[in-house]
Chains A and B, each alone.
Chain A
Amino acid sequence: MPDHSLKSVTPLGHDMPESVTVGPITIAEVTDIAMASVAARQGRIADVADAAQKIGVTLPEAGRHAAGTPCSAFWTGPEMWMVEAPFATHEDIVAALKPVFGDAASLTEQTDAWVRLRVSGADLPRLFERLCNVDLARSSAGDAIRTMIEHLGAFLLIRRPDEIDVISARSSAASLHHALAAAAKSAF
Chain B
Amino acid sequence: MTQPNRIPGGLIDRAQTFSFTFDGKPYRGHPGDTLASALLANGVRLMGRSFKYHRPRGPISAGSDEPNALVELRTGARQEPNTRATVVELFDGLSAQSQNRWPSLAFDALAINDRLSPFFAAGFYYKTFMWPAAFWEKIYEPIIRRAAGLGSLSRLPDPDIYDKGFLHCDVLIIGAGPAGLAAALTAGRSGARVILADEDFRMGGRLNAETHGVGGMAGADWAAQAVAELAGMPNVRVMARTTILGAFDHGIYGAVERVSDHLPVPAAGQPRQILWRIYARRAILAAGATERMIAFEDNDRPGIMLASAVRAYANRWGATAGRRVAVFTNNDDGLRTAEDLRASGVEIAAIIDSRKGEEVVGSRGRLGLRSVTVRGGSGKTRTVECEALAVSGGWNPNLHLTSHHRGRPVWDDTIAAFIPGPGGPGGLVAAGAAAGQLSTHAALRSGAAAAAAALADLGQTAAAFDLPEAEDAPVSITPKWHVAGKGRAWVDPQNDVTVKDVKLAHQEGFRSVEHLKRYTTLGMATDQGKAGNLLGLAVMAEMTGQTIAQTGTTIYRPPYTPVAMGALAGRSREKDFKPTRLTPSHKWAAEQGAEFVEVGMWLRAQWFPKPGETHWRQSVEREVLATRASVGICDVTTLGKIDIQGKDAGAFLDRVYANTFSTLPVGKVRYGLMLREDGMVMDDGTTARLAEDEWVMTTTTANAVPVFRHLEFCRQCLWPDMDVQMISTTEAWAQFSVAGPNARRLLEKVVDQDISDATFPYMACANITVCGGLRARLFRISFSGELAYEIAVPTRYGDAMICELMKAGEEFGAVPYGTESLGVMRVEKGHVAGNELNGQSTALNMGLGKMVSKKKDAIGMVLSQREGMVAEGGLRLVGVRPVDPAQPLTAGSHFIATGKPAVSAHDDGWLTSVVYSPHLGHSIALGYLKNGSARVGERMRAVNLLKKTDVEIEIVSPHFFDPEGERLRA
Interface residues of A (CB under 8 A from B): 2-11, 13, 31, 37, 39-42, 80, 92, 103, 105-106, 108-114, 129-135, 137-138, 150-152, 169-176, 178-179, 182-183, 185-187
* Min CB gap A92→B, angstroms: 6
Contact A170 B163 (CB under 8 A): no
With known contacts A41-B723, A185-B269, A113–B795 Cβ distance under 8 A: yes
Contact B772 A112 (CB under 8 A): no
- Residue in B163, B725, B731, B772 whose CB lies within 8 Å of A114: B731
Question: For the complex, what is the distance from the CA of A2 to the CA of B571, rounded to whole Å?
Answer: 43
Q: Which of B291-299, B496-504, B579-587 contacts A (4 or more CB under 8 A)?
A: B579-587
Binary interface encoding of chain B residues 331-375 relative to chain A, with 1 for a CB under 8 A from any of its CBs, else 0: 000000000000000000000000000000000000000000000
Q: Is the interface of B mostly helix, strand, loop or mixed?
A: mixed
* Min CB gap B642→A, angstroms: 10
Q: Which of B91-99, B147-155, B555-563, B797-805 contacts A (4 or more CB under 8 A)?
A: B797-805
Q: Which residues of A have CB within 8 Å of B163?
A: 130, 183, 186-187
Contact A6 B771 (CB under 8 A): yes
How big is chain B's contact interface, by range? 35 or more
Q: Which of B37-45, B100-108, B165-173, B681-689 contacts A (4 or more CB under 8 A)?
A: B165-173
Q: Which residues of B have CB within 8 Å of A106?
A: 643, 645-646, 693-694, 725
Contact A2 B168 (CB under 8 A): no
Closest to A105 in B: B725
- Residue in A40, A129, A171, A187 whose CB lies within 8 Å of B602: A171
Q: Which residues of A have CB within 8 Å of B581?
A: 169, 171-172, 175
* Min CB gap A68→B, angstroms: 22
- Residue in A9, A182, A183 whose CB lies within 8 Å of B796: A9
With known contacts A37-B727, A109-B729, A178-B576, A6–B804 Cβ distance under 8 A: yes
Question: For the complex, what is the distance from the CA of A105 to the CA of B775, rounded to whole Å?
Answer: 21
User: For the complex, is B601 an interface residue (Cβ under 8 Å from A)?
Assistant: yes
- Residue in B645, B721, B795, B800 whose CB lies within 8 Å of A170: B795
Q: Which residues of B have CB within 8 Å of A175?
A: 576, 579-581
Interface residues of B (CB under 8 A from A): 161, 163-168, 193, 269-271, 274, 277, 279, 571-572, 576, 578-583, 586-587, 601-602, 637, 643, 645-647, 693-694, 721-723, 725, 727-733, 769-775, 793-801, 804
Q: Which of B165, B571, B586 has the most CB of A within 10 A?
A: B165
Q: Which residues of A have CB within 8 Å of B579?
A: 150-152, 172, 175-176
Q: Which residues of B have CB within 8 Å of A173?
A: 582
Q: Which residues of B have CB within 8 Å of A109?
A: 729, 732, 794
Q: Which residues of A have CB within 8 Å of B729?
A: 108-110, 113
Q: Which residues of A have CB within 8 Å of B643?
A: 106, 108
Question: For the complex, what is the distance from the CA of A37 to the CA of B705, rounded to whole Å?
Answer: 18
Q: Which residues of A have CB within 8 Å of B270?
A: 186
* Min CB gap A109→B, angstroms: 6
With known contacts A5-B771, A130-B163, A111–B732 Cβ distance under 8 A: yes
Q: Which residues of B have CB within 8 Å of A111?
A: 732, 794, 796
Contact A6 B800 (CB under 8 A): yes
* Min CB gap B608→A, angstroms: 19
* Min CB gap B643→A, angstroms: 5
* Min CB gap A20→B, angstroms: 14
With known contacts A6-B797, A9-B796, A171-B583, A130–B164 Cβ distance under 8 A: yes
Q: Which residues of B have CB within 8 Å of A2?
A: 769, 772-775
* Min CB gap B274→A, angstroms: 8
**Given A9-B800, A13-B587, A41-B646: 8 more A-B contacts, CB < 8 Å:** A2-B769, A6-B774, A10-B796, A110-B732, A111-B796, A113-B728, A113-B732, A150-B576
Contact A174 B773 (CB under 8 A): no
Question: For the complex, what is the distance from the CA of A147 to the CA of B899, rounded to whole Å?
Answer: 61
